[in-house]
């Protein structure tokens, strides 16, 4: 009997710890982005507001997933370079992996909008970004549906390859290496820390909207 009671207690404890931790934020689509307008809304906000971000976070207080919802479902009609949801992994204390997906679960298509589906940020002990790697997902079916000829496809592939090489060599001019891109849409971030590249002028974020102001306040 004591053994059974112990098993039940352990099972209950594990089940409780496995429950998803979430936050809800209100956003609005703009001409070029999704913009946060209010943080930490009530859990039933999806019934009240058309556009919300459902943010999941881990036991260390770090964001693990951002779902951009329209009327309670993953947003579908959007600009091609904006994701329907974003996931984060933290294989160690100095690595942040950010991946972008469409509403059907497919990674963001690199050729269609020239956007990487994966960014791997390296950070130091002071949460400064020290390196960035990017990777593209190439959907050959979508390319064919776009009616691109082989020459145009090769031009796009060469551009993506060249950009990836430049980033790997430390040229971040075309990418958001100054910060973790979609941490702007997260309240948790890296346990309320907003990593930036050393030397980045954080004053550029000050007083420029809800999400930028929060990022500014979370820079250590």
State yes or no: pLDDT of 48 exceeds 70: yes
Q: What is the mean pLDDT of residues 99-122?
A: 91
The whole-number pLDDT of residue 142 equals 65
Q: What is the mean pLDDT of residues 89-109?
A: 96
Residue 59 neighbours by CB under 8 Å, 6+ apart: 17, 21
Q: What is the mean pLDDT of residues 19-27?
A: 89
State yes or no: pLDDT of 118 exceeds 90: yes
Rounded mean pLDDT of the chain? 85
- Left (φ > 0), alpha (ψ -120 to 50) or beta: where does 143 sit? alpha
State yes or no: pLDDT of 17 exceeds 50: no
State yes or no: pLDDT of 191 exceeds 70: yes
**120-145: pLDDT as tens digits:** 999 999 999 999 999 998 876 666 65
Percentage of the chain lying above the pLDDT 90 cut? 58
- Decide if 63 contacts 57 (C-beta within 8 A): yes
State yes or no: pLDDT of 208 exceeds 60: yes
State yes or no: pLDDT of 89 exceeds 50: yes
Cα gap 171→38, rounded to integer Å:
34
| Residue owning tokens 């990777």 | 135
State yes or no: pLDDT of 13 exceeds 50: no
């Amino acid at each position: 009997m004591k053994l059974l009671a112990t098993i039940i207690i352990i099972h209950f404890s594990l089940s409780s710890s496995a429950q998803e931790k979430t936050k809800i934020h209100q956003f609005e689509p703009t001409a070029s982005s999704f913009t946060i307008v209010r943080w930490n809304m009530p859990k039933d906000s999806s019934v009240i507001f058309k556009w919300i971000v459902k943010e999941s976070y881990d036991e260390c207080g770090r964001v693990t997933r951002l779902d951009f919802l329209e009327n309670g479902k993953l947003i579908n009609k959007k600009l091609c370079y904006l994701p329907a949801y974003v996931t984060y992994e933290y294989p160690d204390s100095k690595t942040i992996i950010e991946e972008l997906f469409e509403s059907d679960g497919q990674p963001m298509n690199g050729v269609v909008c020239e956007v990487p589906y994966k960014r791997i940020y390296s950070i130091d002990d002071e949460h400064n970004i020290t390196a960035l790697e990017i990777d593209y997902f190439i959907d050959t079916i979508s390319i064919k549906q776009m009616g691109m000829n082989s020459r145009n496809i090769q031009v796009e592939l060469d551009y993506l390859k060249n950009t990836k090489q430049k980033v790997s060599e430390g040229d971040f001019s075309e990418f958001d290496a100054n910060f973790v891109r979609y941490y702007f849409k997260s309240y948790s971030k890296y346990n309320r820390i907003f990593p930036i590249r050393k030397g980045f002028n954080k004053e550029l974020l000050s007083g420029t909207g809800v999400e930028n102001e929060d990022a500014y306040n979370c820079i250590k």
